[in-house]
Amino acid sequence: MNTKDKIIHTSISLFNEHGERAISTNHIASHLNMSPGNLYYHFKNKEDIIRHIFALYSEHLSTHFKPINKNDDAFSQLTVYLDSLFELMWRYHFFYDNLGDILARDTQLKQAYINFQLELLEQVRKIILGLRDSEMIAINEQDALELAHTLKLTVSFWTPYIKARRLSGALAEQDIYHGILKVLTLFRAYSTDKSSDKMNQLREKYTQLAHSAPSIPAALSS
């Protein structure tokens, strides 16, 4: 891993652990045992670091959430979507937690975010229609668009919702799996007779993963 990648990796870790607002470039440099000057050689400021993280976040979405092809197994593909969604929500949860503030400080990033969200909405809509064409769900065109919006809302605001309900503001992998179950519930509402058993299998899978995943200690859960 080169120095630039180390800075990105460390920044994500610190932002997730302490919150993006609480971490400065000096904190990041200190954690890496490097001088601030060395960090600024690779990134102009913290906003520059966040833009690079957003690029990774966007790439993850674009790469892992492509519409279903005719020859794809829809059940397997939906499982891939949900597994990838867990990875995304866990790795970048700081971004969801402080989204409004992050975008308000950086006009360039906000425009990139707006543009990408428009593309993502259409991408999610096509995924939904692909599941429909594979008879995993039964849904019309208008409801497909509404479901796409609702899925994006659920993913974007699940972790802030969980953190806001705890004095500690802590988050664990178990919480993300509970969010995945909420996403799956949205799909299950449109499941067909053909797919209901497989949808139930997915619910059982992610329920078990939630039970076995690391959780918040009782002292921090209230």
Span 38-84, pLDDT tens digits: 999 999 999 999 999 999 999 999 999 988 887 889 999 999 999 99
Average pLDDT value for the chain:
94
pLDDT at 27 over 80: yes
Q: Are 174 and 86 in contact (CB under 8 A)?
A: no
The whole-angstrom separation of Cα 40 and Cα 35 is 9
CATH of 45-220, one of 3.40.50.1000, 3.40.50.300, 1.10.357.10, 3.20.20.60: 1.10.357.10
Q: Where in the chain is the domain with CATH 1.10.10.60?
A: 1-43
CA proximity to 45, closest of 3, 105, 100, 96 = 105
Percentage of the chain lying above the pLDDT 90 cut:
91
pLDDT at residue 222 in the model: 58
Q: What is the pLDDT of residues 6-19, one digit of tens each?
A: 999 999 999 999 99
Q: Where in the chain is the domain with CATH 1.10.357.10?
A: 45-220
How is domain 1-43 classified at the architecture level of CATH?
Orthogonal Bundle (1.10)
Mean pLDDT calculated for residue range 193-197 = 96
pTM of this structure: 0.93
DSSP state of 172: -
pLDDT at 105 over 90: yes
